[in-house]
Amino acid sequence: MGFICGFSVATGAAARLVSGYDSYGNICGQKNAKLEAIPYSGMDHTHRKYVFFLDPCNLDLINRKIKSVALCVAACPRQELKTLSDVQKFAETNGSALCSYNLKPSEYTTSPKSSVLCPKLPVPASAPIPFFHRCAPVNISCYAKFAEALITFVSDNSVLHRLISGVMTSKEIILGLCLLSLVLSMILMVIIRYISRVLVWILTILVILGSLGGTGVLWWLYAKQRRSPKETVIPEQLQIAEDNLRALLIYAISATVFTVILFLIMLVMRKRVALTIALFHVAGKVFIHLPLLVFQPFWTFFALVLFWVYWIMTLLFLGTTGSAVQNEQGFVEFRISGPLQYMWWYHVVGLIWISEFILACQQMTVAGAVVTYYFTRDKRNLPFTPILASVNRLIRYHLGTVAKGSFIITLVKIPRMILMYIHSQLKGKENACARCILKSCICCLWCLEKCLNYLNQNAYTATAINSTNFCTSAKDAFVILVENALRVAAINTVGDFMLFLGKVLIVCSTGLAGIMLLNYQQDYTVWVLPLIIVCLFAFLVAHCFLSIYEMVVDVLFLCFAIDTKYNDGSPGREFYMDKVLMEFVENSRKAMKEAGKGGVADARELKPMVGGDEEAAALQEFHFHFFSLSVFTDCTSSGEAFVICITQDVLLFLFVCLPITWMAEFLSQLRPPSVKVS
């Protein structure tokens, strides 16, 4: 990727990108060399520093360019020019000719070629883009046309205009609600540190109240607006009121379905809370001793933003690099010939790989810091900055491990994205069998990617513990996970669900605040797009923060499993685990003994968290709810027939979900005998 960037800069793409160039190959703001057989090339544009398009709203999405003649001008028109006389007056007053170079300003109103060589009327008011010297329209109507071209499924362009105008009108509210979601996420992270013992129950109660309250408010607003007299609404706002009423109905129905599904899941998971409470309590202690973990999402996001800016800049360089070629209209384009024209494919692969690499560096950093905390018996002897110490070990020893793990994810993600692109292009054209096979392949690759992501994260933890290479660490982590398959299932299911409830709480709180604010915004138009933007941003922020907590819980569990595998509590082989985890293990033994599932001989044994009969029942329960939910989701989210939906889901269930879960159960039965605790 460094070679691609260097090649683009060396071939002059940087100057053409930053300063801009006209349709004749002249770079604005400097003297230019004459291009062979190209008219109007080699002009001196020292005083013409801005690129002006005669028709800036004519966008060609297929070729990713503006289908308009580009000229170098001295100034952008800050006010709308409605007639050629206004264009002529602007040129005479500001010295900025907006028509073609072969047409003098005095001929703007008299020449018969003015309709072709001059900008399309009316000329919209524009302003130069900072650092890129392009005149861009300031009126959002031009951007609405861009969006209409991009969003092809909108049949009524007036709806899109109202959506965009609604976003622009309520941009202050959107920014305020996004800031609110960030503050709520930070507050939740702080609260987790101190109330981890009761966090699960608090989150459960708050989510129940929030989902019920949000659903009730939505139905109340829908009923209120439906009963409001339409005679008092002016005709211009009648369509807006109908759109709002329809959006409220959709929101209310969706919230009701979501609340019912959430209650059913919580009813099933209510018996698997004790282990989550213990791990959350220890994770809260980790955040107390390692407070910089809270800011880890900021550093990761900052690194991703820097890389994405670099990637976009290099991509733009690639769009302006190459040799000057005259197209069919007689204008100049810069194109790359030969094998170098496929560099952007490698650039796209680099985007995926480096992004995964940065995320993997975060996982390795968190794993290294938590491992240091867990295996330090006296917490007062922790390093001054375990996070920085973990970063130092990552840079010095483990960059290859992280690069290999992220590359494996990239190898799985790229085929899945290609299949998704093919599916989107063939949507509505392929038969039911081909659609089912394509969806099955996408689902299998998605499942494989998620499994590899989880295995990679545990491999990084094993690397942080043993300082082994990636393959050895992945093998060791896989063996540990198989030996503790039931514990892994319980912790991931309950723990992830509790963190999901935290995300739901933040999204519901932000969305409820947005509903109340937008309901009393007098000059607002349509609710749909702003509320979706706010909720998506709130979920993204909550996911970034709570995913750190999820990483800490997963790392603690792997450390706990390794601790119980290689230590038995005897002198010289003492446990490293926290007292809370030991209390949980002892309580589990007592409960199993009282229930008649353990005798005196095995009362001191570290047993699985779930017995064999309970394991089978749990798997059957999971299979039933998974299959029912997948069929319901598929039927409601697609317009296909019920028979096609249930056929697809049965195939996915039989050939993907069922083999994976039962294979995990079979492997868990092959684990070695449990370690005795003295």
Instruction: Report how far residue 65's alpha carbon sits from residue 295's, in angstroms, rounded to the nearest whole number.
Output: 40
Whole-number pLDDT of residue 67 = 76
Q: Pick the closest to residue 609 from 476, 492, 459, 452 (CA basis).
A: 492
How far apart, in whole angstroms, are the C-alpha atoms of residue 71 and residue 372?
Answer: 61
pLDDT of 365 over the 90 cut: yes
In terms of pLDDT, which residue wins out, 98 or 581?
98
Question: Do residues 247 and 218 lie in contact, with contact meaning Cβ atoms separated by under 8 Å?
Answer: no
The two most distant CA atoms of the chain are separated, in Å, by 107
Question: Given a cut of 60, is residue 146 above it in pLDDT?
Answer: no
Closest by Cα among 104, 131, 5, 22 to 70: 22
DSSP state at residue 31: B
pLDDT at 334: 76
> What local confidence, expressed as pLDDT, does residue 401 receive?
92
Reported as a pLDDT band with limits 50, 70 and 90, residue 601 is very low
- Give the pLDDT confidence of 85-120 residue by residue, as tens digits: 999 999 988 888 899 988 888 888 888 888 888 998
List CB contacts of 215: < 8 A, sequence separation 6 or more: 252, 255, 256, 259
Give the chain's end-to-end CA distance (angstroms, integer): 57
pLDDT value of residue 599: 42
pLDDT mean over 612-628: 51
Q: Is the peptide bond before 122 cis (omega within 30 degrees of 0)?
A: yes
Query: Tell me, what's the pLDDT at 627?
Result: 54
- Contact present, 414 and 381 (Cβ < 8 Å): no
**Contact at 8 Å (CB) between 618 and 610?**
yes
CA distance 383 to 381: 6
pLDDT of residue 399: 92
| Mean pLDDT value across the chain | 75
pLDDT at site 339: 66
Residue 34, both tokens: 């004459």
Residue 406 scores a pLDDT above 50: yes
* Residue type, position 653, single letter: F
pLDDT at 661: 54
Q: Confirm if 152 and 132 have CB atoms less than 8 A apart.
A: no
SS3 of 21, please? strand
For residue range 638-647, what is the model confidence (pLDDT) as tens digits?
444 444 444 5
User: Is 0.85 topped by the overall pTM?
Assistant: no
- The closest of 285, 280, 326 to 502, measured between CA atoms, is 280
What pLDDT shows up at residue 678? Answer: 36
Residues written for the chain: 678
Residue 643: the pLDDT is 46
pLDDT at residue 612, rounded to an integer: 44
pLDDT at 233: 58
Task: Identify residue 565 by its one-letter amino acid code.
Answer: K
The whole-angstrom separation of Cα 638 and Cα 533 is 23
Instruction: Map tokens 């309250």 to a residue.
Output: 213
Please check whether residue 485 is in contact with residue 667, taking contact to mean a CB–CB distance below 8 angstroms. Answer: yes
CA dihedral angle for residue 561, residue 562, residue 567, residue 568, rounded to 10 degrees: 20
Q: Which of 55, 27, 25, 28 is nearest to 37 (CA)?
A: 25
DSSP string, 458-476: HHHHHHHHH---HHHHHHH
pLDDT of residue 645: 47
